[in-house]
Amino acid sequence: MYTARISELMYPLDADYADSVGISTVTGAYCLAESYHRLWFELNVGEMQATATLDAGLMQSTSAAGAGNKAITGKTITQLTQAGGDGDGLVCIELQTEELDVDGGFCYVNYYITVAAAAVECSAVLYGCSSRYMPVPTTNWTEIVG
């Protein structure tokens, strides 16, 4: 694996680019997880307005349309708050795909970001890591330099 490119080991399945998010819940698309050993959710939090809170986590479903969606146990962050000084930080959630309810047919994953009380600047990326099949696609990258 030393010859593999990082862009082959971590593939962006879905992303929400840097923006100010008002009071709402933002969800990513349900992505098929079975082609990867792990998924990694990265949340980049910028400025949080006074009184703002932010929650985030991973959900699983049995289809790309979100059928039967439910939370993945243990895959939520501790609530971030402006009062707690949690702005300008990075948060990640790691998931091994065997943690999904595969017996129940759950093989799709998405993320949610819930902002309450006031706006938060943030961005998020859900990566598929350690592909079960090589080569991995490059279509979700705008550019790969290496």
Q: Which tens digit of pLDDT belongs to each residue from 28-68?
A: 999 999 999 999 999 999 999 999 999 999 999 999 999 99
Above 60 in pLDDT, residue 1?
no
Q: Residue 97 — left, alpha, or beta (φ > 0 → left; ψ -120 to 50 → alpha)?
A: alpha
**113 located within any domain:** yes
Model pTM score: 0.93
The DSSP symbol for 6 reads: H
**139 located within any domain:** no
CATH number assigned to the domain comprising residue 51 = 2.60.120.380
Q: Which domain holds residue 70?
A: 14-131
**31 located within any domain:** yes
